[in-house]
Amino acid sequence: MSLDNYFNYLLIAVLTIISPGAAILLAINNAMRMNLRAVLFSTLGNILGLFLLATVAMFGVGVLFQTSPLFYKWLKWLGGAYLVYLGIGQMRNHHTHLVMNRETLHRACSPWAVFRKGFLVAATNPKPILFFSAVYPLFMEPGRDSLLSFGIMTVTFLAISFTSLMTYGYLSTRAKAWFFDEEKLKGFYRISGALFVAMGVGLALWG
């Protein structure tokens, strides 16, 4: 991959990743409810999900995804339903105190639970696989190793995603003091839950 090609791809990737979406909202939510450790495990799950989608797109299923309405609708509705599920759970959240004892915090920040949630948010979202299957071919250059180009673009995308989610999470932990008020925290849960639901419905109807 030429340097010019790489920088063009880098710009597209950055603009795509930093735009608020389900993964960013989940990182903010985990930072507010738990801590930066929860954001880290959630982000690692999200990165794994993105890597699997990139691999699937690279090896041709992206073509099937774009040409098979049934496959597209199945994944689209699955992703939308999962986000709606997360949103309803968030709106019904009864943890109105951010200051929790060590035992409660440990239970709330189960590494596997937040990792799994981050993975599912990425793996059930059709937009990343559309991005990979549509954008990757634009930067594949004749006469160059396609697997090498795939590796460069995927590592770049995952690194930007990791940095973006952790940055959002860190900034959110610094804003926790604003949510020490119980009514404000309830409002946050309702708003963030509604955003999850809205994104889930939008995802199911998108495209």
- What pLDDT shows up at residue 75? 65
The answer to whether 37 touches 109, Cβ cutoff 8 Å, is yes
Q: Is the pLDDT of residue 192 over 80?
A: no
Question: What's the pTM value of the predicted model, to 2 decimals?
Answer: 0.73
Residue positions counted in the chain: 207
13 within domain boundaries: no
163 within domain boundaries: yes
Tally the domains of the chain. 1
Domain that holds residue 164: 3-7+22-205
17 within domain boundaries: no
12 within domain boundaries: no
86 within domain boundaries: yes
The answer to whether 92 touches 196, Cβ cutoff 8 Å, is no
16 within domain boundaries: no
Is the model more confident about 170 or about 18? 170
Whole-number mean pLDDT of the chain? 78
- Supply the DSSP symbol for 79: H
Taking only the tens place, the pLDDT of each residue in 80-134 is 787 788 788 878 765 555 444 444 444 456 888 899 999 999 988 877 877 787 7
143 within domain boundaries: yes
197 within domain boundaries: yes
Give the residue from 158, 203, 125 showing the smallest Cα distance to 48.
Answer: 158
